[in-house]
């Protein structure tokens, strides 16, 4: 049986609303979809005059987490730790990068922005992401670690 340890509906609702507002704002102001892989990719492979807002967006994501913790709202966040080693985390990160390139977007781009725009392609991508995540968790938890 699964036990929910940190049930936080208020902060989750507020966070979701803020993500939706920021995605809508970026689409209205810049005409861009708030897909994190695409935003980060534009920093790694920049186009002239199109980098500063991307850096600010990514910095806002990182700084926002620190502000949340500093305000005391992130109770319990300091107890999160990876259950695998650094090589596995690096490999997973690289696989995510390859997957977002092949899938032409990530969960934020397709799952939040694409679904909000009723994009059939984003629906297929999001269902694929989620199904792959379910299978991956099952394999890692039940086949590699013996049911941990």
134 and 115 co-located in one domain: yes
The model carries a pTM of 0.72
Domain that holds residue 97: 81-148
Q: CB–CB of 109/37 below 8 Å?
A: yes
55 and 34 co-located in one domain: yes
The pair of structure tokens assigned to 46 is: 């920049």
Q: pLDDT of 74-107, one tens digit each?
A: 665 556 677 778 898 899 888 888 888 887 888 8
| Pure H helices in 1-73 | 9-30, 36-44, 52-70
- Which residues, 6+ apart, have CB-to-CB distance to 122 below 8 Å? 105, 109, 110, 111, 113, 114, 115
67 and 104 co-located in one domain: no
The pair of structure tokens assigned to 92 is: 């997973």
Average pLDDT over residues 108-135: 90
Domain end (from 80, 106, 134): 80
pLDDT of 135 > 90? The answer is yes
31 and 91 co-located in one domain: no
Percent of the chain with pLDDT over 90: 20
76 phi-psi bin (left φ>0, alpha ψ -120 to 50, beta other): left
Number of domain units in the chain = 2
Domain end (from 26, 49, 80): 80
3 and 74 co-located in one domain: yes
User: Which of 70 and 42 is assigned the larger pLDDT?
Assistant: 42
pLDDT of 41 > 90? The answer is no
21 and 69 co-located in one domain: yes
pLDDT of 148 > 60? The answer is no
Domain end (from 30, 52, 80): 80
CA angle 12, 14, 19 (to 5 degrees): 95
124 half-sphere exposure, CB direction, 13 A CA radius: 5
52 and 27 co-located in one domain: yes
Residue whose tokens read 């810049």: 30
11 and 28 co-located in one domain: yes
58 and 105 co-located in one domain: no
3 and 61 co-located in one domain: yes
pLDDT of 43 > 80? The answer is yes
Average pLDDT over residues 51-62: 91
* CA proximity to 56, closest of 69, 42, 76: 42
């Amino acid at each position: 049986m699964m036990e929910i340890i940190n049930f936080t509906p208020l902060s989750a609702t507020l966070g979701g609303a803020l993500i939706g507002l920021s995605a809508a704002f970026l689409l209205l102001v810049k005409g861009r979809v708030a897909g994190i892989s695409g935003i980060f990719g534009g920093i790694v492979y920049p186009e002239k005059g199109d980098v500063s807002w991307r850096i600010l967006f990514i910095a806002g994501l990182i700084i926002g987490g620190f502000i949340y913790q500093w305000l005391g709202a992130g109770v319990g966040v300091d107890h999160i730790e990876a259950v695998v080693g650094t090589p596995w985390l690096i490999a997973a990160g690289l696989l995510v990068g390859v997957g977002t390139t092949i899938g032409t977007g990530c969960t934020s781009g397709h799952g939040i922005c694409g679904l909000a725009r009723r994009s059939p392609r984003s629906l297929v991508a999001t269902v694929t992401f989620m199904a792959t995540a379910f299978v991956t968790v099952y394999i890692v938890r039940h086949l590699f670690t013996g049911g941990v």
